[in-house]
Amino acid sequence: MTELAALKKFSARVGADPLLVQAAGGNTSLKQSGVMWIKASGTWLRDANSRDIFVPVRHEALLAALARNDPACEACTDFVLADLNATGLRPSIETTMHALMPQRVVVHVHCVNTIAWAIRGDAEQRLAEKLKDFNWAFIPYARPGLPLANAIAARLKPGTDVLVLGNHGLVVAAKTVVEAETILDRVVNVLLRPVRALVPPDLAALHLLCKGTDYAPAGNDETHALATDALALESGKNAVFYPDHVVFLGVGVATEVGSGAPLVAAPGKGVLIRGNAKPAVEPMGRCLADVMRRVEADDPLTALDSEAIGRLVNWDAEKYRQGLNVGV
Ligand SMILES: [Zn+2]
């Protein structure tokens, strides 16, 4: 099997695990012969084996542009090798992060257990104990794209192969896909958090709420926890802890069907999804509940402020990703 084929297989495995990747979140890459193959923006890692979701970019040219803080590094479309890019898709909005890591294989996931640590104000200190056996770095929150690339460059040391991105997720890098898989599994194991038991939904009550609307109850109990777990509901309504939350669910999860929102968390009853909601909505709702079931009420959490949220939702490359993410 070629290394790119191995990466696709690994990507599909990671993409099918909702505790690691949700919808179009997360991305993987491989550098070979001067070309970096990176997941396309808006595509789902889960589909890596069944459709062409990797885009070739010129690695050296991208690194040179990054070094001069070139705004072309925001969308990275200028660095795509058009002749090799069969699908015509754009590279991931997190391409610069992959380019900066010198290792051949880079894997970035929105690991639920990692995020439950990474949203704490004391994340760096707490993780220092947990990850003492790893060559790792903590990267304080920065908007994905150029700001995040610059934040990583400031903390990257030779040999660093694990990054925890504050209020965001996890990056693992290695020489081969097999090594990346091993490191990822080890890190995730070390960062496992106790998880609160699921409170099942009140399906009868949900069906009543749906009557005469185009809403239907969410498909699994993990998603319903966004409405049945008090801490998850509270956080969903009042705080934004990581980028994909606000990008896909907006600020403040809706609690009433009358809101017309794609996702409604009916307090104590469960979650409803609107018929024409994008396919990313339910996985993102579940992710938020999965993260919040791994934190406690007295954990010192740090939410994104309104300025950080504004920079995310007004970013052109991010608008493209959302527009494309109609589900496949
Ligand atoms: Zn990310």
Radius of gyration of the chain (CA): 19
Q: What is the mean pLDDT of the chain?
A: 94
* Structure token digits, residue 251: 């600020």
pLDDT per residue over 115-148, tens digit each?
999 999 999 999 999 999 999 999 999 999 999 9
pLDDT at 251: 86
Ligand 1 centroid–CA 248 distance in Å is 13
Separation of 211 CA from ligand 1 center, angstroms? 37
Ligand 1 centre to CA of 109 (Å) is 6
Find the DSSP H helices in 191-259: 203-210, 221-228, 230-238, 243-249
Between the CA of 296 and the centroid of ligand 1 the distance, in Å, is 24
Reported as a single tens digit per residue, the pLDDT across 7-18 is 999 999 999 999
pLDDT class for 320, splitting at 50, 70, 90?
low
3 CB burial (10 A radius; 0-12, 13-18, 19+): middle
Q: How far is the CA of 206 from the centre of ligand 1 (A)?
A: 33
Dist. CA 295–CA 196, nearest whole Å = 9
Q: Which long-range contacts (CB under 8 A, 24 or more apart) does 70-74 make?
A: 71/146, 73/145, 73/146, 73/149, 74/145, 74/146, 74/315, 74/316, 74/317
Question: Where does the pLDDT of residue 321 fall: very low under 50, low under 70, confident under 90, or very high at 90 and above?
Answer: low
**Distance from Cα 41 to the centre of ligand 1, integer Å:** 11
d(C-alpha 56, C-alpha 135), whole Å: 28
| Cα of 145 from ligand 1 centre, angstroms | 10
In angstroms, what is the span from residue 210 Cα to ligand 1's centroid?
A: 33
CA of 33 to the centre of ligand 1 (A): 26
Query: How far does the centroid of ligand 1 lie from the alpha carbon of residue 108, in Å?
Result: 7
Residue labelled with tokens 């894997």:
107
Q: Report yes or no: 97 and 73 within 8 Å, Cβ to Cβ.
A: no
pLDDT at 270 over 70: yes
For ligand 1, the distance from its centroid to the CA atom of residue 269, given in whole angstroms, is 31
pLDDT at 326 over 80: no
What global pTM score does this model have? 0.94
DSSP string, 56-110: EEEHHHHHHHHHTT-GGGTT-GGGB-GGG-TT-PPBPTTHHHHHHS-SSEEEEE-
pLDDT tens per residue across span 236-269: 999 999 998 888 888 889 999 999 999 999 999 9
Instruction: State in Å: Cα 258 to ligand 1 middle.
Output: 32
Here the tokens at position 62 are 């991208």
- Over residues 180-202, the mean pLDDT reads 98
| Candidate from 31-35, 74-78, 95-99, 248-252 with smallest mean pLDDT | 248-252
* Centroid of ligand 1 to alpha carbon of 272 (angstroms): 26
Helix 3-15 to helix 177-190 angle, to the nearest 10 degrees? 30
Q: Is the pLDDT of residue 328 over 50?
A: no
Please give the distance, rounded to the nearest whole angstrom, from the Cα atom of residue 275 to the centre of ligand 1: 27
Query: Could you identify the residue written with the tokens 């801490």?
Result: 231
Cα-to-centroid distance, 110 and ligand 1 (Å):
6
298-317 per-position pLDDT tens digit: 999 999 999 999 888 887 66
What's the 301 CA to ligand 1 centre distance in angstroms?
19
HSE on the CB side for 107, CA within 13 Å?
Answer: 32
pLDDT at 115: 98
